Amino acid sequence: MAVFEYVALDLKGKKVRGFVEAGTPREAREKVRELQLSPLEIIISREILKRKRVEKRISREDLALMTRQLSSLLKSGVPLVEAINSLGKEFSGHPLEKILADIASELKGGKSFSEALKIHSQIFPPFYINMVRTAEETGELDRVLNRVATLLFREVSFQNKVKNALAYPMVVLGVGSIVLFVLLWKVVPSLSKLFEEFNYPLP
């Protein structure tokens, strides 16, 4: 899913602008029509493109750390928006700073926490958003976020173990390739000349 910006005419012929989520420009155009608007232009939001470039620089470990800290702030009684703003200062200069500011803005605009997270679905995986949505209904957001952070840290740990497990075979393969290259480039030609000098047939 992507966010598309549209320019359209309403029933009174007035030009309006807005945003819709859709998989393709064609689907976005259909969604605009469902709003009883006549679409004039459909484009991918530039702001969303900038946001995606920022999101690509945020690792799972960053997300896990931020989530654990948010859980701790909520557990200590800090309101959600205030906690997110506080984290934004903690991550000053980090790509998460902009994401946290966006989420706080969405919350102030009336969206739920899970709805605000969904806008940044490239960062927050489906299980994260779904668990937050459930927590909003049960009122246990701090406890659920702590659980989410634990799951994210486990994911990071697993990925690191896999990388380390693959590192040794890759090193062995690399060294083996170098040895094979040296054999073919240096040793084999030398042996060939030696066999020729003594009139021995090559094996």
Q: What is the pTM of this model?
A: 0.56
- Of 188 and 155, the one with more pLDDT: 155
Of the ranges 52-56, 171-175, 183-187, which is most confident?
171-175
Rounded CA-CA distance 201/3 in Å is: 72
Rounded CA-CA distance 152/133 in Å is: 17
Tokens of 65: 């750390």
pLDDT in tens, 64-91: 999 999 999 999 999 999 999 999 998 8
Contacts (Cβ under 8 Å, ≥6 apart) of 114: 129, 130, 132, 133, 136
Give the confidence band of 22 by pLDDT, cuts at 50, 70, 90. confident
Q: Which amino acid is at 100?
A: L
Exposed / middle / buried, residue 115 (Cβ in 10 Å: 0-12, 13-18, 19+): middle
